[in-house]
Amino acid sequence: MTTPQPRANVAEIPPYVAGKPPTVRPGMTSYKLSSNENPYPPLPGVIAAVQAGVVAMNRYPDMGATMLYDALAEKFDVPVGHLSVATGSVGLIYQLVQAFCDPGDEVVFAWRSFEAYPIAVTAAGATSVRVPVLADGRHDLDAMADAITDRTKIVLVCTPNNPTGPAVTQSELDAFLARVPSHVLVVVDEAYVEFVRMDDPVDGLATYRRHENVVLTRTFSKAYGLAGFRVGYAVGPDPIAAALRAVSLPFGVSTVAQLAAVESLARQEELLERVEALVAERTRVVNGLRDAGWDVPEAQGNFVWFELGDRTADFAAAADEAGIVVRPFAGEGARVSIGEVEANDRLLQVAAAFR
């Protein structure tokens, strides 16, 4: 008897490994540093704004997410038509591949990078072209430009790169864009943009205004602390944003998510102060690790990367023992989010002892 069969490539979709929750141990607080979340609790004003949506849960959300589009357009001084909101920025990655790739088309990205990239690419029947990151965790933009073929539809640039940490500079991005044919879409994944503190940082908004083949993806999950609500947005030229909206899931951003995102934009200053504190903690952690002899790459997101090879599982276990849950990548390394001060202290202790 035959049963319904999914497309052949569905079986090839790699699993998405979510960060584990903290291990519960009697008498010990355990911290989750495995998903690059924001450790701060929601602002009371954001909770209050969301309550209006909770009582309306029997109704569909505003499908046009009008308030959110308007708020984003005003905050970033872009036309509403250049925006597309989605169920997290991961939703936008799926939509980009769906809207631009036919089966067999190629999507070029650095590796290791955000693990959802090959998942979204395979799910759409397209082909992933992985270009290894350099020894210091940076994108090898020259090799990525060399990897472009007649079948390439999209290049994903993840900056700062999850999980290795470094960000590309504007000059590097400009030199890269000069080598990319105009029919290839360049997606700049700026999930951690608010955490970047470096010379010559990428100005994504200015870059998309200069290039008809550049789109930015951003999220409310990290700096804005709304990971649980799933809101992301893309900023790009009119036809690209329109294509993203066309393939979007109807009602993909819930009422509570829209309300929380709008309120968070209104309270951006307060939220960015928290980002500043996390950046200070990141500096403290990176300096502490380097003082202890660790050669960690430049960290421009809210996380640090430990290249550990076959010691990865042992490191994750040692961290777990100390009450911090990290994100191991088997045989490669561990990514550890910057969290509460106490959690970061514990990381420094574990790492110093593990050396």
In the complex, the residues that contact ligand PMP under the rule CB under 6 A are 36, 88-90, 114, 158, 162, 189, 191, 219, 221, 227, 232
Q: Measured from the CB of residue 3, what is the shortest distance to ligand PMP in angstroms?
A: 33
Q: Where are the beta strands (DSSP E) in the chain?
A: 31-32, 83-86, 106-111, 127-132, 152-158, 185-189, 214-219, 232-235, 303-307, 324-325, 327-329, 333-337
Burial class (CB in 10 A: 0-12, 13-18, 19+), 240: buried
Q: Which is nearer to ligand PMP, 88 or 328 (CB)?
A: 88
Q: Are 144 and 108 in contact (CB under 8 A)?
A: yes
Q: Measured from the CB of residue 161, what is the shortest distance to ligand PMP in angstroms?
A: 7
Q: What are phi and psi of 125, to 5 degrees?
A: 80, 10
Q: Are 230 and 91 in contact (CB under 8 A)?
A: yes
Q: Which residues face 28 on adjacent strands? A: 25
Q: Measured from the CB of residue 282, what is the shortest distance to ligand PMP in angstroms?
A: 15
Q: Which is nearer to ligand PMP, 82 or 222 (CB)?
A: 222
Q: Measured from the CB of residue 89, what is the shortest distance to ligand PMP in angstroms?
A: 4
Q: Which is nearer to ligand PMP, 143 or 227 (CB)?
A: 227
Q: Which is nearer to ligand PMP, 36 or 84 (CB)?
A: 36
Q: Which is nearer to ligand PMP, 34 or 255 (CB)?
A: 34
Over 138-189, what HEC string results?
Answer: CCCHHHHHHCCCCCEEEEEEECCCCCCCCCCEHHHHHHHHHHCCCCCEEEEE
Rounded-to-integer distance, Cα 24 and Cα 309, Å = 27
Q: Measured from the CB of residue 225, what is the shortest distance to ligand PMP in angstroms?
A: 11
| Residue sitting closest to ligand PMP (CB) | 88
Q: Measured from the CB of residue 150, what is the shortest distance to ligand PMP in angstroms?
A: 27
Q: Which is nearer to ligand PMP, 72 or 90 (CB)?
A: 90
